[in-house]
Amino acid sequence: MATNSTSAPAAKGVADTERRRPRLSPDTVSGYGFLAPFLIVYLVFLVYPLFRGFYLSLHQWDLLAGPLGWTGLQNYQDLLTDPTFWTALGNTFYFVVLTVPLTTVLALVLALALSKPTRTNAVFRAIFFSSSIVSVTVVTLIWQMVLSPSRGILAQALGTVGIPPLDWLNDQHLAMLALVIATVWWSLGLPLMLFSAGLQQIPGDIYEAARLDNASGWRTFRYITWPALHRTTVLVVLIEIILHFQVFGQPFLMTKGGPAGSTRSLVQYIYESGFRDWHLGYASTGAMVLFVVMLIASLAQLHFSRKED
């Protein structure tokens, strides 16, 4: 039962030195004991799969038949010479480039408009966050209906002012935009809350000083709020990049990656390689590429979230 910590007070000093003698101190035993349940799951279902994924990527591996032989870097060569892969990667970047700035700016503007700690503002925030709570299946179902040219509420609303309906999801130029709109609606909540939390941390007396100096609203934002939000903004952008780079459900469910492959995302490409074409080894190669991109973004995120702590 004597699982004492080394921080025990001096009165226990003698007993302490006695306890330190065995190679496995009680703290080490209890430390690993407490950590073991998670550590086992972590090793088996996260660390091992990551290495197994790399192993798979070096093989031809069929969904049903299993391993069909070592192929070295052949999968990587095939991947990098597949125009569909490059299109999917390009689509994913395009999606990120449209979604992230739009979400970030909208979230920042809303967070600023709702920065006063009143009940009304809390209700507004709750409303804008509410759409983030539902699953991607529900979101895509809602937006497929909203954007439907024959039965959609958008076409009905625009029809009353004489604007003809658009076939958003089947138009090569509009389809990606439709996915972006649905995604912004779905994912605005998180950056809004992050910006709101960031704004709350700015001490109020700075604003009081600016008000006494008769500083304009823009100047106050430019020279006080914006610099103070710098770290939050960087974090928001990185979190958004990581989140949206892995987009899957929106194109998979709303456009099937079409029209003409113009909305197929990287994760969708990986999924289809594995579970439509049954090439798990090749799909794993795509997943490795995704992992490397995500690793770089995540390391940047960890770096910024630990800084100035």
Residues 77-96 touching other proteins, rule: CB under 8 A, are none
Site for other proteins in 108-127 (CB under 8 A): 113-114, 124-127
Question: 202 near 228, Cβ under 8 Å?
Answer: yes
Amino acid at residue number 223? Y
Site for other proteins in 196-225 (CB under 8 A): 196-197, 201
Q: What is the separation of C-alpha 69 from the centre of its chain, rounded to a whole number of angstroms?
A: 35
Pick the closer one to other proteins by CB: 13 or 33: 33
Q: Rounded to an integer, what distance in angstroms lies between the CA atom of residue 79 and that of residue 48? A: 24
Residue with tokens 């049903």: 64
Q: Rounded to an integer, what distance in angstroms lies between the CA atom of residue 275 and that of residue 297? A: 27
Q: How far is the CB of 274 from other proteins (least distance, A)?
A: 5
Q: Rounded to an integer, what distance in angstroms lies between the CA atom of residue 197 and that of residue 204? A: 14
DSSP 8-state class, residue 172:
T
- Using rule CB under 8 A, residue 68 touches other proteins: no
Pick the closer one to other proteins by CB: 197 or 209: 197
Pick the closer one to other proteins by CB: 17 or 38: 38
Site for other proteins in 137-166 (CB under 8 A): 137-138, 140-146, 151-153, 156
Selected binder of other proteins within 98, 104, 240, 274 (CB under 8 A): 274
Site for other proteins in 243-262 (CB under 8 A): 246, 248-249, 253
Q: Which stretch, 92-100, 171-179, 221-229, 283-291, contacts other proteins (CB under 8 A)?
A: 283-291
Question: 183 near 99, Cβ under 8 Å?
Answer: yes
- Using rule CB under 8 A, residue 168 touches other proteins: no
Number of Cβ within a 10 Å radius of residue 48: 11
Q: Which stretch, 95-103, 171-179, 221-229, 275-283, contacts other proteins (CB under 8 A)?
A: 275-283
Pick the closer one to other proteins by CB: 32 or 86: 32
Question: 140 near 249, Cβ under 8 Å?
Answer: yes
User: How far is residue 157 from each of residues 150, 152, 160, 165, measured CA to CA in Å?
Assistant: 12, 9, 6, 10
